[in-house]
């Protein structure tokens, strides 16, 4: 493992550890690149389980300080993990353009109208909705990779034709747009039923670039064995696995 492009910290209110602890762990593990990708603050703060808007200046200041402090030792990339919420896209753009958050990840944890929790979907129609949201998000061109595409397996549990069809829609678009897809080691570590092996068997039918990330929410998550387990899953299936990302200027 030479890079991790999906990292949280205590700033998200459901993780632990200071930013600098993650940086030190990354250095211990020999990483060359570490993207800090907190859940993006949302206008109006509809979600208490993430950084609130008024916490952003302090977070940003600390992150900028650490980027400078570790320059030459570790390439720290400023990023955010974002849902596709149409009304928030301008604010995401502002984080990229004004504050240098150059890596924006699409991680669709809720439906784009904020109604459904995508960890708790049970109905086929909800999967279709999830696929439509993800595809609309990818089509904005704002996002650099798709986090945990099969996240809904946390709640949906059963691999059936509806899962197959939702994933076919998503994978076909990732292929068309050449957007990498993530095998998420956090889901693996906490046994959330994703990455879901049959989903990734189906992924072989597409030309996809696959990326393994820890999605760390604790310092110990960063280099935990599930990262290697996900890499082994991808390799055993013959998927095209990339280990570094070209970051946009």
**Contacts with Zn ion, residue ranges (CB under 5 A):** 81, 215
- Return the number of the residue (150 or 215) whose C-beta is nearest Zn ion: 215
Residue nearest to Zn ion (CB): 215
**Nearer residue to Zn ion within complex by CB, 83 or 215:** 215
Nearest distance, CB of residue 64 and Zn ion, angstroms: 21
CB count in 10 Å sphere of residue 124: 15
Rounded to a whole number of angstroms, the minimum distance from the CB of residue 148 to Zn ion is 8
Least distance from Zn ion to the Cβ atom of residue 168, Å? 24
- Least distance from Zn ion to the Cβ atom of residue 161, Å: 28
CB closer to Zn ion, 8 vs 241: 8
Could you write out the three-class secondary structure of the chain? Answer: CCEECCECCHHHCCCCCCHHHHHHHHHHCCCCEEEEEEECCCCCCCCCCCCCHHHHHHHHHHHHHHHHHCCCCCEEEEEEEECCCHHHHHHHHHHHHHHCCCEEEECCCECCCCCCECCCCCCHHHHHHHHHHHHHHHHCCCCCEECCCCCCHHHHCCCCHHHHHHHHHHHHHHHHHCCCEEEEHHHHHCCCCCCCHHHHHHHHHCCCEEEEECCECCHHHCCCHHHHHHHHHHHHCCCEEECCCCCCC
Q: Provide, rounded to whole angstroms, the least separation between the CB of residue 125 and Zn ion.
A: 26
In the complex, the smallest distance separating the C-beta of residue 12 from Zn ion, rounded to whole angstroms, is: 5
The residue among 81 and 221 lying less far from Zn ion, judged by its C-beta, is 81
Tokens of 8: 């949280």
Query: And the tokens for 155?
Result: 């709640």
Q: In the complex with Zn ion, which residue's Cβ is closer, 47 or 202?
A: 47
Which lies closer to Zn ion via its Cβ, residue 5 or residue 206? 5
67's tokens:
């980027």
């Amino acid at each position: 493992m030479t890079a991790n492009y999906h990292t949280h910290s205590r700033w998200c209110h459901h993780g632990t550890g200071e930013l600098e602890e993650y940086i030190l762990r990354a250095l211990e593990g020999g990483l060359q690149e570490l993207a800090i990708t907190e859940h993006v603050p949302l206008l109006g703060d509809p979600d208490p389980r993430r950084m609130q808007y008024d916490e952003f200046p302090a977070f940003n200041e600390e992150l900028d300080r650490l980027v400078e402090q570790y320059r030459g030792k570790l390439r720290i990339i400023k990023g955010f993990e974002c849902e596709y919420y149409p009304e928030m896209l301008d604010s995401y753009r502002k984080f990229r353009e004004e504050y240098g958050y150059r890596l924006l990840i699409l991680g669709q944890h809720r439906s784009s109208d904020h109604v459904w929790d995508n960890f708790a979907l049970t109905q086929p129609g909800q999967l279709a909705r999830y696929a439509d949201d993800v595809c609309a998000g990818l089509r904005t061109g704002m996002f650099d990779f798709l986090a945990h595409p099969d996240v809904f397996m946390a709640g949906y549990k059963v691999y059936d034709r509806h899962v197959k069809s939702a994933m076919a829609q998503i994978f076909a678009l990732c292929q068309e747009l050449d957007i990498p897809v993530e095998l998420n080691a956090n889901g693996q570590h906490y046994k959330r039923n994703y990455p879901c092996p049959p989903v990734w068997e189906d992924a072989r039918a597409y030309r996809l670039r696959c990326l393994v990330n820890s999605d760390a929410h604790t310092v110990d998550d960063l280099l935990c064995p599930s990262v290697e387990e996900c890499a082994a899953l991808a390799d055993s299936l013959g998927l095209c696995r990339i280990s570094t990302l070209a970051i946009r200027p």
